[in-house]
Structure 1
Amino acid sequence: MTDPLTSTEGNGQQTSTLKLVLAIACLVWYGVLWFLGLLGCFNARKRYRLRPRSPLASAPASSVPGVSIIRPLKGLDVNLYENLESTFCQEYAKYEIFLCVGDDQDQALPIVRELIAKHPAVNAHIIIGEENVGVNPKVNNLTRAYREAAYDILWVIDSNISVDPGTLARSVDALGPPPTASPSGRRRIALVHHVPFAFMTEPSLGARIEEAFLNTNHAKMYLAINAVAVDSCVVGKSNLYRRLP
């Protein structure tokens, strides 16, 4: 017959061991989160404390690769005029812009036409009409522009994003030459993506929460995950890549 006292003591030891293991696991996970947070803050300071002007910003058109900027649009976003105009004002000598809407009744069209008239020197095009290639409406919106783009480097940027005048030059500089022309020893870059920085335009609780999340926890985890390179973390709001032949 089993001794009840011995059995109780054995169960108590197992419970204590399990609690210890769980406590250690929680402590390790807490440490990992702190490490990722500090790594993200370090990378943010290292990368974005200074934004040097790329040499490509002042280079002539004959010496820089061309870029096709594609902006899918639908309706009137907050600050739409300023967001779109930021791509018309890039410090880069060779680029074109495609502004894509689903139909000729879209409310964004008057703003698009006003910007094109204001910046006649910029090679800008309006694409009206979607091409149904899948379930993603954004992809359907930009497919025609993708096919009509004159250049192999594409910059797909959402309508609610505003960018600094030097963003394109720095991004092309980071992307580097095509794989066939890359010097030996240089790391090959397939995609340049931009960390979103949010600013509030409406004094609502939801806007405040989203702004706080994107500019703190999301930003540091975004940078940390890409820094340790265990996986990729990419937001599809602004991405520059090279189209394969």
Structure 2
Amino acid sequence: MAPMIYTLYGFAIFFFAFWCALWLLHLIAILYGKYKLHKKIPETLADEPLPGVSILKPLMGVDPHLLSNLETFFTMRYPIYELLFCIEDRTDPSLEIVNNLIAKYPKVQASVFIGGSSVGVNPKINNMHRAFEESVHDFILISDSGIRMKEDTLQDMASHMCDRTGIVHQMPFTSDGNGFAATLEKIYFGTAQSRMYLAADFFRINCHTGMSTLIRKCVLEQEGGLKSFGCYLAEDFFISKHFIDRGWRTTISSQPAMQNSGICDVRSFQARLSRWAKLRMAMLPLVIIFEPLTECMVIGIFAGWATSVLFKWEFLTVYMIHILVWFICDWILLSIVQNGVLPFSKFEFIIGWLFRECKGPCLFISAAFDPSIQWRNRSFKLAWGGIAQEVKPRIKC
């Protein structure tokens, strides 16, 4: 009987300690977010010479905001940069938009690369490979098609590129939008995603998302360039790992990445979250055990049980207080990341937050039982370690 009691108390202590650690992450994310995000560029840095940047823009298809998003790259206040648009198919409708913008802003150095290479399974790497090889500047900015820039965003990112910093990336967030799906996206990226992202940056842990990232080109070239990461779907994680393993630092800039694709519905957003979960499980198998415990509703159950065993506290009382305080912390963090008035009411936040928190564990369980990856019109299979294989390759050697 005694070994069973010791085991019971051992599990209770583990869950209580894990619960306390999550509250520490909440506190770190809020304080670090307040310190790190939305800072003005110091005047001393603003007057210093800025490095030239080659911006790689992989494009596929047209979304409602593509024109306005791309135009923000032509109107940035940055002295030296080139725009390299990567379009896999000559018939892609984004080509016309790009050509019109190039004609509208003739003073901006811009080039178009049509036709993807075949250097790996990753379609994004295949699309960007030629542009990377022909880029002329020492720094590379990889920027997804749905990203919207402010006039000083690139300057803000470059100002964080210190001597031993190899990667400066933007923390994912979203532009304001209408409808429940837009609310859900902003809540997720401003709470669950931001909490882990800010805490990871504080502890110098690899949590790199490559939708908007400034990279030292020379370090990539030492590894063979972008093509060396073409065997992975999560190339951003492995690029960051390559830098960290060689002693380089990675950090986030003060401005979050403003995703503004214009295509926003609950089903596609959940499919996106499921795809990311599958990639994390393939790269870091321990995620299968620990990630569900980071969800509010899940850890609350275990915390309520642990405190009832260790301290004889009432389970339901602990669980309800846990949810309430978690909710308040998420509201505070989202307000910090937004840095302004939120585009929805507190009631809409409650509904969206509850939906996200209840749906999150279900999406993770579903992803764990289906390792296949669907990305646009492609299908992939994942192996342990993050290496992927395309089921039906689209680009032939």
Query: 1:51-200 alignment to 2 at 5 Å?
Result: 51-52=40-41, 63-176=49-162, 182=163, 188-199=164-175
Report the Cα offset of residue 111 of structure 1: 1.2
Q: How big is the shift at 1:53? A: 5.9
Structure 1 CA distance for aligned equivalents of residues 118 and 207 of structure 2: 27
Query: What is the identity, as a one-letter code, of the residue corresponding to 2:136?
Result: A
Q: Distance in 1 between matches of 2:185 and 2:150?
A: 22
Alignment deviations for residues 141-181 of structure 1 (CA, whole Å, 9 cap, x no partner): 111110111112110100011122111112222113xxxxx
AA aligned to 1:133 is V
Match of 2:194 among 216, 219, 225: 219
The change in CA–CA distance for 1:121 and 1:21 in structure 2 (over 3 A counts) is same
Asked if 2 retains the 8 angstrom alpha-carbon contact of 1:191 and 1:239, the reply is yes
Aligned-pair RMSD on alpha carbons? 1.9
Contact 1:158/1:237, CA 8 A, preserved across alignment: yes
Deviation at 1:92, TM superposition (A): 0.8
Alpha-carbon shift at residue 19 of structure 1 (Å):
2.0
Q: Does 1:47 align with 2:47?
A: no
Instruction: Give the 5 Å matches for 1:201-212.
Output: 201=177, 203-205=179-181, 207-212=182-187
Contact 1:54–1:169 at 8 Å: present in 2 too? no
1:23-78 per-residue CA deviation (whole Å, 9 max, x = no partner) reads 1111100011111121112111111143336666566xxx4321111100000124
User: Which protein is richer in helix relative to its size?
Assistant: 2
Larger Cα-atom Rg: 1
Q: Does 1:28 align with 2:2?
A: no
Cα pair 1:57 1:166 within 8 Å, conserved: no
Q: 1 CA distance for matches of 2:84 and 2:46?
A: 21
1:57–1:92 Cα contact (<8 Å) kept: no
Please tell me whether the aligned partners of residues 91 and 169 of structure 1 are also in contact (alpha carbons under 8 angstroms). Answer: yes
Cα distance in 1 for residues equivalent to 2:79 and 2:38: 26
Q: Percent of pairs identical after alignment?
A: 34
Contact kept in structure 2, 1:78 and 1:160, CA below 8 Å: no
Deviations 1:215-234 (A, max 9, x none): 111011111012112x3100
Deviation at 1:193, TM superposition (A): 0.7
Question: If the length of structure 1 is used for normalisation, what is the TM-score?
Answer: 0.82
Counterpart of 2:58, as a letter, is: P
Residue 177 of structure 2 contacts residue 183 of structure 2 at CA under 8 Å; is this kept in 1?
no
* SS of equivalent residue, structure 1 residue 190: strand
- Report the alpha carbon displacement of residue 235 of structure 1 after superposing the two structures with TM: 0.4
2:203 equivalent in structure 1: 228
3-state DSSP of counterpart to 1:130: coil
- Partners of 1:157 and 1:58 in 2: CA distance: 25
Provide, for residues 92-119 of structure 1, a one-character-per-residue CA deviation record: whole Å limited to 9, x for no partner: 1111101111122101112111211221
* 1:72–1:99 CA contact under 8 A, matched in 2: yes
Q: TM-score, normalised by structure 2?
A: 0.52
Who is 2:324 aligned against?
none
Structure 1 stretches of 4+ moved >6 Å: none
> Structure 1 pair 49/236, CA: closer, same or farther in 2 (3 Å)?
closer
Question: How many equivalent pairs are there?
Answer: 219
1:212 shift after superposition = 1.4
- Once residues 238 and 28 of structure 1 are traced to their aligned partners in structure 2, the CA distance between those partners, rounded to angstroms, is 35
For residues 159 and 174 of structure 1, what CA distance do their matches in structure 2 show? 23
Separation in 2, partners of 1:49, 1:99: 28
Higher relative contact order (CA 8 A, sep 6+): 1
Structure 2: runs of 5+ lacking an equivalent = 222-397
Give the Cα separation in 1 of the matches to 2:161 and 2:38: 20
